Amino acid sequence: MNTKYFHYTLTIKKKTMKIKHQLFVALILLLIGCTAVKSIVVGNKLRPSAKNMFVVSDDIVLYNGKPLAKYQAKTFSLDNNELVEEYNLMLIGEVSNKQVIGDLIDFISDRHQGAEVEIEVNSDKKMFDL
């Protein structure tokens, strides 16, 4: 057997093995990435934003045209020597799903960039099992 031919064949086999190895690693990384994306999408159950269902009229926040919350106070405080703006709202409407309150906080936070938002719930409401 010719050593030049043997060396050439061995070099091709090494390159082929290296390409196969790289493809295998790329496939594994792709599968891990797809699994991570799937768990994020399915785990968090991405849903459309409900922010467009809120409207503010005077000091009342409406959800689907019905009163949901009322602005109670706008306060300022110092937190680590920084002035912090905070909006307090009182829940006045009935909420069948706690996620609506999270959407309300997102809506108010977008409306008042950089401010903290608190939603107060009357203790007579049974939705939170206080």
Q: Is the pLDDT of residue 22 over 60?
A: yes
Per the structure, the count of domains in the chain is 2
Say if residue 63 is in the same domain as residue 109: yes
Say if residue 29 is in the same domain as residue 89: no
Q: Given its phi and psi angles, is residue 86 left (phi above 0), alpha (psi -120 to 50 degrees) or beta? A: beta
Say if residue 57 is in the same domain as residue 71: yes
Of 41-50, 51-60, 81-90, 115-124, where does mean pLDDT reach its minimum?
Answer: 41-50
Inside any domain, residue 72: yes
Q: Are 95 and 68 in contact (CB under 8 A)?
A: yes
Round to whole Å and give the CA distance between 26 and 68: 51
- Specify the DSSP class assigned to residue 52: G
Which pTM does this prediction carry?
A: 0.58
Give me the domain span that covers residue 8.
Answer: 1-46
Say if residue 57 is in the same domain as residue 21: no
Say if residue 27 is in the same domain as residue 71: no
Inside any domain, residue 67: yes
Inside any domain, residue 125: no
Q: What is the mean pLDDT of residues 95-116?
A: 88
Q: Please write the tens of the pLDDT for every residue from 45-84.
A: 555 567 678 999 999 999 988 999 999 999 998 888 889 9
Inside any domain, residue 126: no
Say if residue 68 is in the same domain as residue 29: no
